Structure 1
Amino acid sequence: MGQISTAHNPDAEKQKLIQRVTKNFTNDYHVLFLYHPDDRCLVYDLDSELPFPTYFHKYVTETFRTDQILKPDYFRYFRVVPAPVYLQNLASDRRHMKRSDGTWIKPPPDYNCIKTATCSHNLEDFISMDPSRGFGEVLNLTQFVKKFYQQ
């Protein structure tokens, strides 16, 4: 079974984080694919410096520090969405790739925007860590590790 995880990850050590900075506010999110067909979970992270794919245990131990050394504002949270739900529902009109004046931060991809039959933009529902919003479930780091770590 595959899962898509969007991580609110303000302190990753071995990742190139995707960042949006607006004035003094930083909003970090990072998308991973976790594949766990049997007894081992693999992480597919296009932005990691670790091997591709990497076993979940290696990924977690080499990417994240414990939350115990962080202030609560910097705890990591993960929105875990089953891959079919993600693929059927994600929609983005690329507004997050534009400045407030409407110009592109970087040139957009040459393929069409991702949309569904009923929605043109719901990216915030996938990156929000508010458990009452969006698809899937929101987990803290400990819950995330317990869910996917398999010996």
Structure 2
Amino acid sequence: MPDGSWWAGDGPLPYAACYCEENAWQLCARARRLGRDLPGFFVVFISNPARTVRLFKQRAGRDHMGHVIWDYHVVVIVQSADRSIVYDQDTTMTPFPIDFETMFRVVPAERYLADFSSDRSHMATSDASPPPWKPIWNGLMNLDTFIDMPSSDPEVHSFGQLMNRFSRAES
């Protein structure tokens, strides 16, 4: 069963505002370091072809609803036989309402740790300070391959497909 505080004994999770993809990578790396069962961890990229995803209850939100519109967002879902837990280090409350056609890319954590690479160039004009750790870089900026959401890609899910995949029927 996923425990929402499995990481707590190792200190707070690394966090950098506006770097959700790196926060997810850091969470998965800690899980692996702590011996967690990574096949139950999934990195989920949230975007759509227009790259306009409306989210609520986000730390960066400036109104009373915590409303933001991002080009993409990244969370981690930890799944077990009886439930799933969503780790969104940018949220102030879950679940959040979804009114736009939002798509989700579900990436096994092992593949994410092996394949993800970012030189942070997509944040060049950001007001946010970069994370204190080095960029997660293997020589190829490939963030767009995770954000792009072609419906023909088996990793890409609609909201309903995501719920079907990670929901458990009541006994």
Settle same-fold status: TM greater than 0.5: yes
Match of 2:89 in 1: 46
Distance 1:14 1:130 in 2: 27
Q: Describe how 1:60-139 pairs up with structure 2 within 5 A.
A: 62-65=95-98, 74-99=100-125, 105-116=127-138, 119-131=139-151, 137-139=155-157
* Contact 2:107–2:155, Cα closer than 8 Å, also in 1: yes
Equivalent pairs: percent with the same residue? 33
Structure 2: which 5+ residue stretches go unaligned? 1-39, 62-68
Deviation at 1:5, TM superposition (A): 0.2
Question: Aligned pairs, how many?
Answer: 119
Match of 2:71 in 1: 28
Higher strand proportion? 1
* RMSD between aligned residues: 2.5
Deviation at 1:33, TM superposition (A): 0.7
TM-score by length of 1: 0.67
SS, match of residue 109 in structure 1: coil
Q: Which amino acid aligns with 1:10?
A: V
Match of 1:71 in 2: none
Deviation at 1:16, TM superposition (A): 4.2
TM-score by length of 2: 0.60
Q: Residues 2 and 91 (structure 1 numbering): CA distance in 2 closer, same or farther, change over 3 Å?
A: same
Deviation at 1:27, TM superposition (A): 5.0
Structure 1: which 5+ residue stretches go unaligned? 19-25, 51-58, 68-73
In the TM superposition, structure 1's runs of 4+ consecutive aligned residues that sit over 4 Å from their partners are none
SS, match of residue 144 in structure 1: helix
Q: Residues 11 and 106 (structure 1 numbering): CA distance in 2 closer, same or farther, change over 3 Å?
A: closer
Distance 1:137 1:150 in 2: 20
